[in-house]
Structure 1
Amino acid sequence: MQKELSLVYICFFAALTAALGLMPKFDIAFLGGVPITAQTLGIMLAGAMLGPWRGSLSIALLLLLVAVGLPLLAGGRGGIAVFYGPSGGFLVGWIFGAMVTGFIMQLTKGWNLMLGTAFAAIIGGIGVVYLFGIPYLALKANLTMWQAFTGSLVYIPGDLVKVVASVAIVQTVARGMPSAILTRAQA
């Protein structure tokens, strides 16, 4: 039963992150067209709720489906070519962002859920994703690291809104169905 439930959670969060891609994207032209999307909310939620392994597997599943051509990224993008564009590093960073978010949620079990979720989402869902995305963006968009870094600051306000949303969603789920927050479940 546990394996089947894990598979359901992994597939659900892959689908949720894909569904967040249906929201309109906003391309940032001076950063090679890397879009502002709602999909990083899915990264934060997958890690915060599923933990490092299930969370990162859900994002890896989504990206595998994208790689084979399904248009699951914001703006209906899909195919292997998206990984070679300026946003490719951010996409790879999604897997590790969900993983780190999950690890931090587990490490902060003794913290207040709101603070633990916010901290995990900021470090994993923003910091780790940018750690992968900015250097690759600099390379692909022919920018210096400083230009890629300062240009990426335009994403921070939206990412902070997603942190707040992830905190609200995790807290709401924890009130209604605490067992669904696998990072805080009792072993």
Structure 2
Amino acid sequence: MPSTESPSPSRPAHTGRRAPSTSTDLALVTSFAALIAVCAILPALPLGVVGVPLTLQMFGIFLAGAVLGGRRGFLAVLLYLAVGTAGLPVFSQGAGGLAVWGGATAGYLVAFPFAALLVGVVASTLARRAAGVYVVGVAVAAAVATLAVVTPVGALGLSLRLGLSLSEAWAAAAPFIAADLVKGVVAAIVAGAVHRAFPQVLAR
């Protein structure tokens, strides 16, 4: 006798991919915002005629983009900036509050999220490529972010806030370029190791 039970709807096949977790994303964004803060407030070395300190801040920003990808890396830097603007002393030399945006380093602050975004987009694109390709590609992206985003916008901020010509402002910012290029390479190497150990962090 044929069964009178209606057939149950078929279950979707298990793809082996985990669904995106908002709580995980929030935890990662928050953690990397904290990492950037730590990198910014570690003992700094004054550099250049304007006395802007040399810190590990760009390393944290590059690493956030390289590990988290463009969107979450961008958000991590925005969260860091929001916390500092709210008054917590998380900017370089323990600075914080709205007054920082009126200082000589305001241009750098504006550029930071976009540097993380650029590095993160490249990191996401190369995530499934060979380790060497990933490291080189992310290091190159960090170099482009340094030369085409952070330094020009930072120099423009120096020019506007300190009354320097653009050439003088660029000369004042130039000592940071080599250090930031090195930080980009180190961030690429560290991020590559993180993705080999935890490939799901940058899963699409």
Please say if 1:22 is aligned against 2:41: yes
Please say if 1:55 is aligned against 2:73: yes
Equivalent residue, structure 2, for 1:161: 182
Equivalent-residue separation in structure 2 for 1:68 and 1:170 (angstroms): 29
Please say if 1:139 is aligned against 2:160: yes
Equivalent residue, structure 2, for 1:69: 87
Equivalent-residue separation in structure 2 for 1:126 and 1:41 (angstroms): 15
Equivalent-residue separation in structure 2 for 1:62 and 1:126 (angstroms): 22
SS at match of 1:30: coil
The 8 Å contact of residues 159 and 169 in structure 2, kept in 1 or not, is answered as yes
Equivalent-residue separation in structure 2 for 1:75 and 1:39 (angstroms): 11
Equivalent residue, structure 2, for 1:7: 26
The 8 Å contact of residues 101 and 125 in structure 1, kept in 2 or not, is answered as no
Equivalent-residue separation in structure 2 for 1:64 and 1:85 (angstroms): 16
Go from structure 1 to structure 2 and tell me whether the alpha carbon gap of 1:43 and 1:126 turns closer, same or farther (over 3 Å shift): farther
SS at match of 2:139: helix
Please say if 1:120 is aligned against 2:138: no
Which protein is richer in helix relative to its size?
1
Equivalent residue, structure 2, for 1:175: 196
Equivalent-residue separation in structure 2 for 1:90 and 1:122 (angstroms): 15
SS at match of 1:27: strand
SS at match of 2:156: helix
Question: With structure 2 as the length reference, what TM-score do the two structures score?
Answer: 0.82
- Quote the offset at 1:125 in angstroms: 4.7
Q: Unmatched 5+ residue regions in structure 1?
A: none
Equivalent-residue separation in structure 2 for 1:99 and 1:73 (angstroms): 20
Count of residue pairs brought into register by the alignment: 182
Query: Identity rate of aligned residues, in percent?
Result: 34
SS at match of 1:69: coil
- Quote the offset at 1:105 in angstroms: 2.3
Equivalent residue, structure 2, for 1:42: 60
Go from structure 1 to structure 2 and tell me whether the alpha carbon gap of 1:121 and 1:139 turns closer, same or farther (over 3 Å shift): same
SS at match of 1:90: helix
**1:123-167 CA distance string (max 9 Å, x none):** 225531123211111111111101111221101221122112102
Is the radius of gyration larger for structure 1 or structure 2? Answer: 2
- Quote the offset at 1:26 in angstroms: 2.3
Equivalent residue, structure 2, for 1:90: 108
**1:25-47 CA distance string (max 9 Å, x none):** 2233622x322111111110111
* Paired amino acid for 1:81: A
RMSD: 1.8
